[in-house]
Amino acid sequence: QKRLDQMRILNGSVAVSGPGITISVDGGEKVTSANVLDAVQELRDAGAESIDVGGHRVIASTWFSDVDGSAGVQGDKLPSTFTITAIGDPHTMSTAMAIPGGVTDTLTQAGARVKVTEGATNKITSIAGAK
């Protein structure tokens, strides 16, 4: 059962909750899909167990592309204000987001306002493939 539960989390077929961070991005119309992908990769490197970008559950097959000049997930354009939620060790992930020249700096240089918030109980309710 434990293995099945882990597989459901990995393939994004169940909601998850736990400690983590929320990254609020305001002014995202200047943010590209490459910026969002960099954030996702940095979160994974920092141990994120589950990630949601703007209401889209991120799994191994999730793709990012620019849509009408702005960042998009699975072909859907992200709004100018969106959040990235990650479940995992909050301190490790927030530290990774603050590395000079890293995600927060890059998004800020793209013209977005970025706020990283640690949470004891974050929830990701999005399901992979669902709209």
Can you name the CATH fold of 2-124?
Alpha-Beta Plaits (3.30.70)
Question: Structure tokens of 64?
Answer: 């990012």
Residue showing tokens 């949601």: 52
Q: Which helix (H) or strand (E) holds 116?
A: strand 113-124
Kindly give the interhelix angle for 33-45 and 90-97, rounded to the nearest 10 degrees.
140
- Tens of pLDDT, residues 19-70: 999 999 998 678 999 999 999 999 999 999 999 999 999 999 999 999 998 8
Percentage above 70 pLDDT, the chain: 98
Q: φ, ψ for residue 54 (rounded to 5)?
A: 55, 35
* pLDDT for the residue numbered 123: 96
pLDDT band at 131 (very low <50, low <70, confident <90, very high): low
Q: Say if residue 129's pLDDT is above 90.
A: no
Using only the alpha carbons of the chain, give its radius of gyration. 14
